[in-house]
Amino acid sequence: MLIVSFMGGGEGGTANPAATMMMMFGFIAIFYFIFFRPQRKQQREHQELVKNLKRGDEVTTIGGIVGTIVHLTNERVTVKTGDTRVEVERSKIGRVDSKR
């Protein structure tokens, strides 16, 4: 009795190279759509957020400091929190809580 496997199709038991390549490309596509594409989208959204910061915006830094922007430069933001002013890098702003 001869049993034909789906992968090999012959008696040698070797896998079909085309099927193996298609499976590899399938895994790469799955990883791209599950991991890389959403991460790039999130990076673009964060860059847009940082680019559009304005005086008076209420922000939260990545470190958890909550305050209002009082001064901006190209690379840094001065955030007033209570009676204290803290200077942080623009890229460390996590989110804008509300705009005035």
Summarize pLDDT for 13-60 with one digit per residue, the tens. 677 888 889 999 999 999 899 989 999 999 999 999 999 999 999 999
Q: What is the pLDDT of residue 97?
A: 87
Those residues whose C-beta lies under 8 Å from the C-beta of residue 86, and which sit 6 or more positions away, are 65, 67, 78, 79, 80
| 57 exposure class (CB count in 10 Å sphere: 0-12, 13-18, 19+) | buried
Segment holding 51, helix H or strand E: helix 37-51
More confident residue, 99 or 29: 29
Q: What is the pLDDT of residue 14?
A: 73
Beta-ladder partners of 79: 69, 86
Tokens of 98: 């509300």
Spatial separation of the C-alpha atoms in residues 93 and 59, rounded to whole Å: 7
